[in-house]
Amino acid sequence: PAEHYLNGGIRTGYNGRTNIEGLYSCGETAATGAHGANRLASNSLMEGLVYGWKIYQDIEKRLKSKTVKEERQVLSTVDSTVMGSAGTLDDKKAPGGTKLDILTLISSLRNMMSREVGILRDSSGLEEARDFVQFHIGNENLYNRTDKDILEFANMLTVANLIIKSASIREESRGTHMRFDFPGKDDKNWKKHIILKKDKVDFKKVD
Ligand SMILES: Cc1cc2nc3c(=O)[nH]c(=O)nc-3n(C[C@H](O)[C@H](O)[C@H](O)COP(=O)(O)OP(=O)(O)OC[C@H]3O[C@@H](n4cnc5c(N)ncnc54)[C@H](O)[C@@H]3O)c2cc1C
ipTM field: 0.94
Contact 9, 30 (CB under 8 A): yes
Q: Answer whether residue 1 is part of any domain.
A: no
Domain that residue 62 falls in:
10-86
| 196 vs 66: CA distance, rounded Å | 32
Identify whether residues 28 and 108 lie together within a single domain. Answer: no
Q: Answer whether residue 163 is part of any domain.
A: yes
Identify whether residues 196 and 109 lie together within a single domain. Answer: yes
Q: Answer whether residue 3 is part of any domain.
A: no
* Nearest-CA residue for atom 31 of ligand 1: 28
Identify whether residues 190 and 115 lie together within a single domain. Answer: yes
∠ at Cα 149 (144, 155), nearest 5°?
A: 65
Contact 168, 121 (CB under 8 A): no
Torsion angle (degrees, nearest 10) of CA 177, 182, 185, 189: -100
Contact 47, 55 (CB under 8 A): no
pLDDT at res. 29 = 94
Identify whether residues 54 and 78 lie together within a single domain. Answer: yes
Look up the CATH number of the domain holding residue 114: 1.20.58.100
Q: Answer whether residue 106 is part of any domain.
A: yes
Q: Answer whether residue 94 is part of any domain.
A: no
Dihedral sign, Cα of residue 55, residue 56, residue 61, residue 62: positive
Identify whether residues 131 and 160 lie together within a single domain. Answer: yes
Q: How confident is the model at residue 84 (pLDDT cuts 50, 70, 90)?
A: low
Identify whether residues 194 and 121 lie together within a single domain. Answer: yes
Identify whether residues 128 and 171 lie together within a single domain. Answer: yes
Of 185, 184, 95, 107, nearest to 141 (Cα)?
A: 95
* Nearest-CA residue for atom 1 of ligand 1: 4
Could you tell me where the DSSP H helices lie in 27-169? Answer: 43-65, 68-86, 99-116, 123-137, 148-169
Identify whether residues 182 and 104 lie together within a single domain. Answer: yes
Q: How confident is the model at residue 68 (pLDDT cuts 50, 70, 90)?
A: low
Give tens-digit pLDDT for 12-22: 999 999 999 88
Domain end residue (candidates: 86, 112, 139) = 86
Identify whether residues 71 and 130 lie together within a single domain. Answer: no
Q: Answer whether residue 16 is part of any domain.
A: yes
Ligand 1 atom nearest to CA at 3 = 53
Identify whether residues 67 and 24 lie together within a single domain. Answer: yes
Contact 25, 64 (CB under 8 A): no
User: How many domains, in total, are found in the chain?
Assistant: 2
| 196 vs 92: CA distance, rounded Å | 33
Which residues does a 6 A CB cutoff place in the pocket of ligand 1? Answer: 2, 4-5, 27-28, 42-45, 48
Q: How confident is the model at residue 88 (pLDDT cuts 50, 70, 90)?
A: low
